[in-house]
Amino acid sequence: MGKHVAVLMGGWSPERQVSLWSGEACAKAAESVGYRVTRVDVGRDIAQVLSALKPDVALNVLHGRPGEDGTIQGILEVLRIPYTHSGVLASALAMDKTQAKIILAAHGIPVPEGRMVSRAEAAREHVLPRPYVLKPNTGGSSVGVFIVREDQEHPPQELNRVDWGFGEDVLAERYIPGLELTCAVMGDHALGVIEIQSDLKFYDYEAKYAPGGSRHILPAQILPNIYQKARMLAVRAHRALGCRGISRTDFRYDDQAGDESGLVCLEVNTQPGMTETSLVPELAAHEGHSFGELVRWMVEDASLDR
């Protein structure tokens, strides 16, 4: 029997369900390639659970807090359990969109203009010229994201909901028209570039996870220099934030610009979705890696923070 792998999934973030889907897919794939797997639905007693399990590796398939913001990484460091994906600092930086943008811009990576505001301010008045995008400063899977259109008189009033669960800081950014692109990095190697198309209002949670919500064009049908530029920027972003293992960088490309100036980096995901039909496994498959081989690569790449 191979290594004992604890697959960390679930948790208590708004992205819990996505994590459960990713975690179960990875657990099955890990078993298929010979690992002994324990599925762990992460609760606040996770340190005690892992201390009792004593796994050889933690396969971190959590999304959102506490699995993506450096918290679970810190626990694993204390317990000296090697784990997949990025370490404490890189995870914390990438999760904070405003701080990540500062780092990326300092490394010459184009990012959208914008500013962080309070949820109350964003609900009270337009905080940028329309059209613009509002998103939680910490979060993923496009939950709590709004596009404010030119003809929209008032800001999204959903921001005033008493059950709003996405934090009090909201990032407002200039809306960039054009194509939705993404590129994964595996180690220090950029995989291909996917164009994501959707008939829905934008590439939101429903577009990402509902059947038929989006279409993936791989390789993206863009000019070769734009394709290679996206791959280069994905690796640069991965390194700038200090990521390791797998990451995925999302872009918008204003194809009306006609050149590389239209390519803008939106964010870096240190814990991208990992179902068999998610973007990263699709990109890996395009390069000849089966889902089982991808999961095995992640497990064997696991380490403590370097």
As averages over each run of 10 residues, the pLDDT of the chain (306 residues) reads 93 91 96 98 98 98 93 97 97 95 97 94 94 86 82 90 86 94 96 88 49 82 96 98 97 89 95 90 96 97 87
Q: Is 204 annotated as a binding residue?
A: no
> Beta-carbon neighbour count of residue 218 at 10 Å?
17
Give CA–CA dist 119/181, Å, rounded.
Answer: 28
Q: Is 180 annotated as a binding residue?
A: no
Q: Do residues 95 and 242 make contact, with C-beta atoms less than 8 angstroms apart?
A: no
Which residues in 10-143 belong to E strands, given as ranges?
36-41, 57-60, 114-118, 132-136
Give CA–CA dist 186/235, Å, rounded.
Answer: 9
Instruction: Judge residue 43's burial from the number of C-beta atoms within 10 Å of its C-beta, 0-12 exposed, 13-18 middle, 19 or more buried.
Output: exposed
Give CA–CA dist 90/30, Å, rounded.
Answer: 25
Structure tokens at 258: 């006609």
> Beta-carbon neighbour count of residue 157 at 10 Å?
8
pLDDT (0 to 100) of residue 69 = 94
Q: Do residues 222 and 193 make contact, with C-beta atoms less than 8 angstroms apart?
A: yes
C-alpha dihedral (44, 271, 123, 179), degrees to nearest 10: -170
Give CA–CA dist 72/227, Å, rounded.
Answer: 34
Within 13 Å, how many C-alpha atoms sit on residue 262's CB side? Answer: 17
Structure tokens at 235: 């690796």
Q: Name which of 74, 83, 79, 71 is nearest 8 in CA terms.
A: 83
Q: Is 250 annotated as a binding residue?
A: yes
> Beta-carbon neighbour count of residue 127 at 10 Å?
19
Q: Do residues 37 and 7 make contact, with C-beta atoms less than 8 angstroms apart?
A: yes
Q: Do residues 185 and 243 make contact, with C-beta atoms less than 8 angstroms apart?
A: yes
β 4-9/57-60 pair status? parallel
> Any idea which residue has 């797997």 for tokens?
37
Q: Give the catalytic positions in this structure.
A: 15, 141, 278
> Beta-carbon neighbour count of residue 104 at 10 Å?
23
pLDDT (0 to 100) of residue 201 = 58
pLDDT (0 to 100) of residue 29 = 96
Give how far Cα 179 sits from Cα of 72, 108, 255, Å.
34, 21, 7
